[in-house]
Structure 1
Amino acid sequence: MAAGRRRATLATVAASAGVSVATVSKVLNGRSDVAPATRALVLSLLAQHDYVAPPQRRGEPAASDTVEVEFDDDLNPYSTEIVQGAVEAGAELDASIVVSIRRSADRTGGWARGLVAAGRRALVAVTGELTGGQLGALSRARLPLVVIDPLNLPRTRVTSVGSTNFAGGLAATQHLLGLGHRRVAHLGGPATAACTQARLHGYRAAMEAAGVSVPPGYVRTAHFHYQDGVEGGAALFDLPEPPTAIFAGCDEIALGVLEAARARGLRVPEDLSIVGFDDTQIARMASPPLTTVRQPLREMGAVAVRTALRLAAGERIESHHVELATELVVRGSTAPVTTGDPTTGASAATRVDAAARG
């Protein structure tokens, strides 16, 4: 290589070929999952650019891209699904995935620099509350960021991956209305979370389209935790006219509502129908199995990692926000109103009322 000439990088070759850095890496490593025409083009450009792999110290393993997947709360069934998708994408792209838990208060001034010093190429933050200062620190450290299902973000362009939360809330509520329920409540997550607001808007849209009013106290927000479902469900059952169906903001909340119903002697789904959101493993293990809105969590984790690595390679991405489709999965926790006037849900409501009175 001529003196003073800059060493060609994988990103240089990838840009010339119009492919991702991961594809160039696969060609260099002799991977078979690259189309012959693409392989020939990449090999030609590697020679054209006089590409030379960075020297590797004796005894050290070959370097690979490392993406940090950072959660701001303890791992749970929701986050486990995302990790699974991230790890699968990492294996596909020959990248390492590091999983960490870091509360918002721990993201101090040296946080971003520490990630770079540790060799991270990009950061995937899950349901994080990121401040303008924290985003600025990542920008100064030149560390690409992708956020999954953000709770809230400052008014700036941040790359994020989510799901069709409005459509999911709409489908969940329409399912309950289609079963004859009219006293349908919504027990959601944090009121300021973008996903909570979208699911709530879907719920309200379905209720309004069906000409069904939402009584006072029928919409409650808390956190995405089991205990919030227990307490929120109990509060709904204490209303003068308790609901005969509840759309919960996540599967954990829904399981809490199941427990609150059991404590009141309510049968699910005979007396009370419940719909969750996420379709995590606990939805399938619940008794009865939980009707829920499937959020493609593994796919969200995989898309976030792929996008983060594209940003790290200097590639231009098509959109700064991607929404993956949700799908209603009907199981055993929902059923039609048993008897009585289908416009009022009289039979189920009578039993719920009796249970609420204790």
Structure 2
Amino acid sequence: MPRVKRPVTLATVATSAGVSIATVSKVLNGRSDVSLATRRRVQDVLQKHGYVGRRTEPAERGSVELFYQGVVNSYSLEVIQGVVEAGQLAGVDVVLTTRPPRPHPQTSSTARAARWIQDLIASGRRAAIGISSELSDADLAALSRARLPFVVVDPANTPAPGVTSVGSTNFAGGMAATQHLLSLGHRRIAYLGGPATSGCAKARMSGFRSAMEAVGAAVPKEYVRLQDSRYDDGLAGGAILLDLPDPPTAIFAGTDEAALGVIEAARARGLRVPEDLSVVGFDDTQVARLASPPLTTVKQPLQDMGAVALRTALQLAAGEKVDSHHVELATSLVVRGSAAATS
């Protein structure tokens, strides 16, 4: 008689993966309190054995609200991908929405905030994550009353006490970008970034100023433009900088998209990049690699920032303590072809 193949059990999977049965169960149930390496090892063993668990009543996977302000761009897409991939590993759904709608003129911000939080809770959200979001005091108060964990990636302003955030070393990144231009012999360096209310933009500008002061390089008032950092802003701001009586030989833009706008403003004036003008961006999104010439930029680990935000939100939802209410991931300079030594 042919041998009957014995069914694979949790114990079999646990032994093969070198973990406990409880750990295998946590992975199957999408629990967040399992390290990424262990989770992947267990998932590999489950797939290898073709393990299929017993059918039970449909379990609520749980979901996390991910919202953003403004138009989705190359920056936010990178963060979104990091959040979504981390959600898949953790076994939770990520629901993407725009910023909570503005209140009706006859509706108070407190009432609007309460309605927003009620909708999140009714939808079974375990936590909320915002990308470059600026929440009102009413929003934060409603989140606190509902005990709904909230994590913001690259906060648009200085986070209120108790708000957990994930960002990058913006000051160090601003210094690295400027020091690179200084090492190429540039001294007439302009900064184009913002808006002025943005905490991360102010940190990048502070890094720029610090690097310039360290070598005694002057920063004329007209060399600093604090504005939004989209492509059109870079185009308009770059035009103003390049039309100055004594224009800069290099421009540090606060985002990759703004840097591309600066490059186009230079081309419209018959200037070559990097021969006549050096340009450095910030973020290292896909547009930096596709630019012509490829853009020298400061890399933010955007997908990692999204993943950390998701895991932190789930930790808070599980009632666990986090080591810090603000996490900064390291930036690094990526040298490509948009900056060259000054003649």
TM-score bracket relative to the smaller structure: 0.7 to 0.9
Match of 1:277 in 2: 282
Note the residue ranges of structure 1 that are not aligned, 5 or more in a row. Answer: 1-20, 39-54, 339-358
1:73 aligns with 2:77: no
SS in 2 for 1:108: helix
Aligned mates of 1:28, 1:190 — CA distance in 2 = 43
More moved, 124-133 vs 96-105: 96-105
Match of 2:310 in 1: 305
> What amino acid does structure 1 have at the position aligned with 2:127?
A
Match of 1:227 among 226, 232, 239: 232
Match of 1:25 in 2: 26
Alignment of 1:76-95 (within 5 A): 76-95=73-92
Over residues 303-339 of structure 1, what are the superposed CA-to-partner deviations in whole Å (9 max), with x where a residue is unaligned? 000000000000011100000000000001000013x
Over residues 33-78 of structure 1, what are the superposed CA-to-partner deviations in whole Å (9 max), with x where a residue is unaligned? 748xx9xxxxxxxxxxxxxxxx83xxxx432121111101121110
Over residues 155-174 of structure 1, what are the superposed CA-to-partner deviations in whole Å (9 max), with x where a residue is unaligned? 42210000000000000000
Alignment of 1:80-119 (within 5 A): 80-102=77-99, 105=102, 108-119=113-124
**Matched pairs, number:** 298
Match of 1:170 in 2: 175
8 A contact 1:77–1:282 mirrored in 2: yes
Aligned mates of 1:191, 1:321 — CA distance in 2 = 21
1:138 aligns with 2:143: yes
When residues 33 and 256 of structure 1 are mapped into structure 2, their CA distance, relative to the original with a 3 A threshold, is closer
> What amino acid does structure 1 have at the position aligned with 2:72?
L
Match of 2:212 among 200, 207, 211: 207
Match of 2:109 in 1: none
When residues 208 and 294 of structure 1 are mapped into structure 2, their CA distance, relative to the original with a 3 A threshold, is same
SS in 2 for 1:123: strand
Over residues 184-232 of structure 1, what are the superposed CA-to-partner deviations in whole Å (9 max), with x where a residue is unaligned? 0000121011001100110000000011010120000111211100010
Note the residue ranges of structure 2 that are not aligned, 5 or more in a row. Answer: 1-21, 43-55, 104-111
Aligned mates of 1:22, 1:185 — CA distance in 2 = 54
When residues 164 and 140 of structure 1 are mapped into structure 2, their CA distance, relative to the original with a 3 A threshold, is same
Match of 1:253 in 2: 258
When residues 238 and 314 of structure 1 are mapped into structure 2, their CA distance, relative to the original with a 3 A threshold, is same
When residues 196 and 24 of structure 1 are mapped into structure 2, their CA distance, relative to the original with a 3 A threshold, is farther
Backbone CA RMSD of aligned residues:
2.4
8 A contact 2:30–2:61 mirrored in 1: no
1:147 aligns with 2:144: no
SS in 2 for 1:75: coil
> What amino acid does structure 2 have at the position aligned with 1:135?
L
Match of 1:217 in 2: 222
> What amino acid does structure 1 have at the position aligned with 2:60?
A
When residues 337 and 23 of structure 1 are mapped into structure 2, their CA distance, relative to the original with a 3 A threshold, is farther
> What amino acid does structure 2 have at the position aligned with 1:141?
A
Over residues 219-267 of structure 1, what are the superposed CA-to-partner deviations in whole Å (9 max), with x where a residue is unaligned? 0011121110001001101212100000000001001101100100000
SS in 1 for 2:327: strand
TM-score, scaled relative to structure 2:
0.82
SS in 1 for 2:96: strand
TM-score, scaled relative to structure 1:
0.79
Match of 2:7 in 1: none
Percentage of matched positions with identical amino acids: 59
> What amino acid does structure 1 have at the position aligned with 2:234?
G
Q: CA deviation at 1:91?
A: 1.2
